[in-house]
Structure 1
Amino acid sequence: MRARAARLRRPLAALSAAAAAGLALTALRPGPAPSVRVLAAARDLPAGATLGGSDLRALDLPPPAVPAGAMRSGAAGRVLAGPVRRGEPITDARLVGAGLLRGYGPGTVAAPVRVADAGTVRLLRSGDRVDVLAGPPSDGADDGPGKAGQWGGDARVVVSGVRVVTVPRPRDDGGQQGALVVLATDRVQAQALAGAGTALSITITGT
């Protein structure tokens, strides 16, 4: 019995040493790297898109790689200010709202304006400077088919030299005419635009 125990002692000691080494390695092994879960685009999305659940996916990023203003929740139902690529993290600056106005200075608001000439709006890009003019539309009685709503009378300048923030993608607006553009204005200018009526035109003045 003693001889047999002596023969087994060495293998058992080796097994014990191996087990101890394994436990030590497990204890020393670093845990999973820290990460932050943010929302990213599930596919390429155009400017003006209203985000739905299928447009977003979770993305785990190491903390140093998380962009400022990254959205962790609350992006569904928001409107994109510019196009995003598949896999790109969604940030507040990509959404129509306060984050979109970063860099415009204090007191700036985003004023959506419906312009009568949708063709002119298609020429606009973010950062363009524009004048917004208002004037009474003609009654269209003598304008012929498709001419109702053309300009009549003298136009007046409502705001001048304001920046284009974004041009939302055209959508089904329930039959409304023209096209939307979002402008960076102060509150006084925004109130003037809100009270200027629906016959609005835009003149591009530069960048």
Structure 2
Amino acid sequence: MPATPNASQGPGSASLGFGPTRPSSIPRNSLLGPIAASHTRRLRGFPSKAGGHLGPPKRQYKHRTFASWLNRNRRLVVALLLCVAVGVAVHQLTPASEQRAIVLAAERDLPAGSSLTDSDLKPLEVLPAGIPAGALTPGTAYRGKQLASPLQKGQIPTDAQILGPGLLTGTAPATAAVPLRMADRASIQLISPGQLVNVVLTAADGFEGPGRKSELLAAAVPVLWTSAQGGTAGQWLGTSEADGLVVVAANPQQAEILAGASTRGKLFFVLVSPPGNR
């Protein structure tokens, strides 16, 4: 027969039955409360009499195992985290490697009007972002062509710096390159590519009748090339007689007026300042 509980036992007394003591049967303000709760926690994970299970201990065991390993190897973990942080910082500060391209650069200082040879330009490896538009490459046919502007040693030439269609790069559509033969050949020394000039026509015999003035053919046209730059027009102008020639960029109306103007009189130029500087 099961034992009969003593009458002196109160509602907070431990049960004499089998099985673990439940903490709910002990008042919270009792001194036995923490002991019973600790005893119950230790009993979790052990099978009960009914064949059940009071709680899975595996997850708590793994947590305690990882915490123990982390505590033992905290210095190693800190060192690994520092290595990762340094690697991320180096990766962000180091620029991404880019494939380099080969262009041509001046082997030495070259004056305007020079006819380019193989020894004037050398291959140079540069990043794609540093290649100017129209840069000359080893596959460009540049031999024998003339420079429209000087080059410094190491500078990368472009097609706009060589006599040819490249001189009109960036100009308005339908712009033409018009060669003019100036009457005063010595005055060509005063101008260089990029300057703006007014082209003026005077009488062919040098004597003007009463009331006759010089005619302004084109105003503020940019100079593309002059024979004073040290070479001959060669392949670009189709003639070897370039002395006294000036090449200007003209719109279709100006080009029609300037073409053949030297047969009607003598041509002169007047230097003008850009519109923004007036």
| Shorter-chain TM-score tier | 0.5 to 0.7
Q: 1:74 to 1:159 in 2, by over 3 A?
A: same
TM-score, normalization: structure 2?
Answer: 0.51
Alignment pair present for 1:184 and 2:249: yes
Rounded to whole Å, the distance in 2 between the matches of 1:83 and 1:62 is 24
Which consecutive unaligned segments of at least 5 residues does structure 2 have?
Answer: 1-96, 234-238
Q: CA deviation at 1:83?
A: 0.6
Select the residue among 50, 55, 59 that pairs with 2:115.
50
Instruction: Tell whether 2:165 aligns with 1:92.
Output: no
| Segments of 4+ moved more than 6 angstroms | 172-175
Find the aligned partners of 1:65 and 1:102 in 2 and give their Cα distance.
Answer: 19
What's the counterpart of residue 200 of structure 2? Answer: 133
Tell me how far 1:33 sits from its aligned partner. Answer: 6.5
- Correspondent of 1:166 among 225, 228, 235: 225
Indicate yes or no: 2:106 matched with 1:41. yes
Higher helix share: 2
Q: Which residue does 2:144 correspond to in 1? A: 77
Equivalence for 1:102: 169
Task: Name the residue aligned to 1:197.
Answer: 262
Contact in 1 for aligned 2:232/2:242 (Cα 8 Å): no
Paired with 1:123 and 1:103, the residues of 2 have a C-alpha distance of 25
**One-letter amino acid matched to 1:91:** T
Q: Is the 8 A contact 1:117 1:178 kept in 2?
A: no
**Partner secondary structure for residue 167 of structure 2:** helix
Could you give the per-residue CA deviations for residues 124-167 of structure 1, whole angstroms, max 9, x where no partner exists? 233332221223443xxxxxxxxxxxx33353222222122333
C-alpha spacing 1:177/1:61, structure 2 compared with 1 (3 Å):
closer
* Unaligned stretches of 5+ residues in structure 1: 1-31, 139-150
Question: 1:65 Cα deviation (Å)?
Answer: 2.1
- After superposing the two structures, state which structure 1 stretch, 78-87 or 178-187, moved more: 178-187
Q: Which secondary structure does the structure 1 equivalent of 2:154 belong to?
A: coil
SS in 2 for 1:100: helix
C-alpha deviation, 1:91, in angstroms: 0.9
Separation of aligned partners in 1, 2:134 and 2:200:
35
Per the normalisation by structure 1, the TM-score is 0.66
Displacement, 1:177?
8.4
Q: Which has the larger radius of gyration?
A: 2
Letter in 2 for 1:80: L
- What is the one-letter code of the residue matched to 2:219? S
SS in 2 for 1:80: coil
Distance 1:91 1:190, change over 3 A: same
Q: Shift of the alpha carbon at 1:70?
A: 0.8
- The aligned residue for residue 128 of structure 2 is 63
